[in-house]
Amino acid sequence: MRPAIASISLENLAHNYHVLCEKSGNAEVMAVVKANAYGHGISLIAPCLYEQACRSFAVTDAKEGVQLRQLLGKDVQITLLSGVFDGEDAKLSVQYHLTPVLTEIWQAECLQKEGFESSIWLKVDTGMNRLGCMDWQALKQKCEQFNIDVMGIMSHLACADTPDHPLNQQQLQIFQTMVSGLPQGMRASLLNSAGIAAMSEACFDVVRPGLALYGIEPMENKSMGLKPVMTLKARVMQIRDVLQGESISYGASYIVDAAMKVAVVSMGYGDGLPRDLSNQGAAFHGQDKLPMIGRVCMDYCLLDCSDSGIQAGEEVMFWGERHTVSCVAQELNTIPYTLTTGIQPRVKREKA
């Protein structure tokens, strides 16, 4: 089997889940496992969280919700953060007892047509100007007319990872005002991972961490003591001696200065290894840092291993404990979310 592997530490996942529970006080932790658990592999992640007593999960849509229901069985709540897109999603929500988050009256109508009489959340906008009801009271009334139980309101912070940004306090105040008018029993949810790290006093009833579960610190300077869940690794297929003046990989973008050893490694952009790492990334073998040279190919990348004792058949890692995915993201001027969700299905997710 092709040795391109995302090794998943369930021990670290459990640790992170408990850190988040503790940080969130009495609020319930709704584990955000959309997009294949941020690329980590839902079929490993969700059962492990369940074993840790997590009973509330969020995915993006009904398709992901059905997959999760089939994995975990009946006694978990599965929230669809993107609500329902059409009648088919509404039908699945009834059949698999899913809990959509609604923003529009047409979504409530879709649900009613399919005989949905269970619970939903309302998404309210408090300043991010992404999805959110324009008139949540009207939507709430409509749901009640349809016998749909409105279990709570949720909103999302635009700048949670920048705690000093004034929008955080503005959004919090707007949300607090909405919450103060809620009937008894209705729940409120505002915070994602960065929100939990930065303003845990605003946990309300339910928090919705994604990133932090996977051991990625949402804020550099406010560590929560999380542990990385994914180690991305691959195997050295061959070690080549390359002579001065020769070039490496497509486009001959790297010219060899002095004779060197080059490791050919079984991971490329077809696996989700960013092509932007060409000539600027690195991989790690024990304490050795092996610079990435030449262009990343679809199935391979190339490393300068002149100063390392690494042998063909050994593994290197691209991110994990030794070099976090956040560091790689920073080097690439992106965010860790894009890197882990970019890991392709052909990369094997296996228990560490």
Ligand X SMILES: Cc1ncc(COP(=O)(O)O)c(C=O)c1O
Determine which one of 34, 91, 123, 140 is catalytic. 34
Chain residue at closest Cβ approach to ligand X: 210
By the rule CB under 6 A, 133 interacts with ligand X: no
Helix, strand, or coil here: 338? helix
Among 23, 69, 140, 208, binds ligand X (CB under 6 A): 208
Q: Whose Cβ is closer to ligand X: residue 99's or residue 278's? A: 99
For ligand X, the closer of residues 25 and 115 by Cβ is 25
In order of 100, 157, 175, 271, 281, the CA distances from 292 in angstroms are: 44, 37, 47, 16, 5
Q: How many CB atoms lie within 10 A of CB 171?
A: 24
Residue 81 binds ligand X, judged by CB under 6 A: yes
Beta-carbon contacts of 143 under 8 Å, excluding residues fewer than 6 positions away, are 102, 108, 120, 122, 149, 150
| Catalytic residue, candidates 17, 123, 227, 250 | 250
CA angle centred on 13, ends 15 and 79, rounded to 5°: 115
Site string for ligand X, 242-271 (x = CB under 6 A): ------------------------------
Taking CB under 6 A as the binding criterion, the range among 12-20, 111-119, 190-198, 294-302 that sits at the site for ligand X is 190-198
- Tell me: does residue 171 bind ligand X (CB under 6 A): no
- Please, what is the minimum distance in Å from the beta carbon of residue 155 to ligand X? 8
Q: Cβ distance 270 to 299 under 8 Å?
A: yes
- Minimum CB distance to ligand X smaller for 221 or for 287: 221
Cα–Cα distance, 39 to 349 (Å, whole number): 9
210 binds ligand X, rule: CB under 6 A: yes
In DSSP notation, 81-129 reads TT---SHHHHHHHHHTT-EEEE-SHHHHHHHHHTT--SEEEEEB-SSS-
Closest distance to ligand X from the beta carbon of 108 (Å): 19
Residue corresponding to tokens 């809620």: 182
Taking the least distance from each CB to ligand X, the nearer of 219 and 239 is 219
Asked whether 178 and 187 are in contact (CB, 8 A), the reply is no
Residue 37 engages ligand X in binding (rule: CB under 6 A) = no
Q: Is 34 a catalytic residue?
A: yes
Provide the binding-site residues for ligand X, judged by CB under 6 A.
Answer: 32, 81, 156, 192-194, 208-212
